Amino acid sequence: MITKEDFKEVCETSIKMIEDAGLLLTEVDKSKMTAADFGLNHIKKEGVQILTMFQTERIAGKILVLLPNQTEPEHWHPTVGDDAGKEEVIRAISGNLRFYIPGKDTFKEGFIVDGKEECYTMRNEIVMKPGDQLVLPAGTKHWFQAGEEGAVMYSFSTTVTDLNDQFTDPDIVRETIIEGITTNAY
């Protein structure tokens, strides 16, 4: 659960970070800013802020914001039946950003959330500077983390129901609860 005050604070901070990065947001865009704590109850440690620019039945474009040292939990978008699974392209916009994907252990600049070694199993570290891009084919297990400055990035993808997402951390629940309001934010 997240308090209304914390929800408002992380959303407002994220809007400011996007605008400071030079992106223009309309009032409609700003009204769509939301946050996900994945039911872990400490959003500033594990969570993400999301602004969906557009979502059709086929494609989606979002701006994702990580606060300083915030970590998005490890997850993947599986192939389910006729659904090929969500393919995602990340484009870093500002700040310092680290992605962790399958491959050789090159873990160096990041950190594992206290006591959660088993929930963050991918250790191939991709340090992304502004303008860098990363393609995540459907099914790719991944997590990501910001450094001291936080990070703003685009996420472009095919559209699938995020309810299919799979997480490594068994404590995760998909819905974010904001003091009694349930939202399926991400």
The one segment of 22-30, 44-52, 140-148, 170-178 that binds a copy of itself by CB under 8 A: 22-30
Q: What is the DSSP letter of 104?
A: S
Site for a copy of itself in 142-161 (CB under 8 A): 154, 156-158
Site for a copy of itself in 43-82 (CB under 8 A): 53-54, 56, 58-59, 61
Compare residues 28 and 163 and give the one whose CB is closer to a copy of itself: 28
List of residues 6+ apart from 91 with CB closer than 8 A: 131, 132, 133, 153, 154, 156
Q: Does 176 bind a copy of itself (CB under 8 A)?
A: no
Beta strand 88-101 pairing with 176-178: unpaired
- Site for a copy of itself (CB under 8 A): how many residues? 27
Cα separation values, 146 from 26, 38, 123, Å? 25, 17, 15
Nearest residue (CB) to a copy of itself, 107 versus 156? 156
How far is Cα 11 from Cα 28, in angstroms, rounded to an integer?
14
Structure tokens at 151: 């990070």
Contacting positions for a copy of itself (CB under 8 A): 22-26, 28-29, 53-54, 56, 58-59, 61, 84, 87, 89, 91, 93, 130-133, 135, 154, 156-158
